[in-house]
Structure 1
Amino acid sequence: MAERVTNKAIVSSRIFSINYVTYPTNHSVMQHSDPVQKGRYYKLNFVLVQPKAGGVFKCSNCIINLFNRVYLFRPDKYEHSVSKIESGKRVLLSFAFNI
C-alpha cells in the first residue's frame, strides 16, 4: 500500500493555522491555487526535510524564497506545485494566514 500524505494540525482557526505535513516518495502536487472566500491568503512554509531527489516547489510568484527551504507566497493569487518526490520524503512546517 502506498504511503499517504500526513497533515497534522498544530493550530487551526479561520485566520491562522500551523500544520506539520509529510509528503512521501512518489507524491506530487499538481499546479493549483487555493481560493479563499474573502481576504488575502498567505503561506509561510519551512522545508524541514528535503527529499533526496525531486519534490521541487514551484510558484509563479514567490514573495520570499530563501535557499529553496523557506517560502512566503500567496496561494490564493499564484499557482504553485511540487514535482514528484523521486526519493526520500518532504516535510514542511506550514503557517497559513488569511487576513
Structure 2
Amino acid sequence: MIENRRRTKTEIIYSILRGCSEGSKKTRLMYLAKLNYSVFMKYIYKMKEMNLIELNEGKCVLTDKGKRVLELLDKYMEIYSKLNEVRMKLEELMQTES
C-alpha cells in the first residue's frame, strides 16, 4: 500500500542536499525535489543562510557544513526508513480480523 503524505522539511532539505552533492543547476534540483519554483526558492535561500549550499558557476554545491549535514541525514533517513518498516509490520499484525 502506497502511503500519500506530505514530506517533512527534513526530507525536502535532504533531497536538495543530495542533488547539490552532484553540483546540479537550480532547475534540475527543483525537479529532483519535486517542488514548485516559489517553494523551492524559499528552501534555497534558507539553505544558503544556513551555509549548507552555495552557488558556484551557476550550480548549487555543498559547503563543508552541507556535506556534514548530508552525511548525518543519510544515517537519519536510513534509521527512519527501518523504523517505518517496523511500524508498518506492527500495524499489519495488530489489525483486527474481520
TM more than 0.5: no
Q: Which has the higher strand share?
A: 1
Looking at CA atoms only, which structure, 1 or 2, has the larger radius of gyration? 2
> Which fold has the larger relative contact order, with Cα–Cα distance below 8 Å and residues 6 or more apart in sequence?
1
- TM-score normalized by structure 2? 0.26
Q: Which has the higher helix share?
A: 2
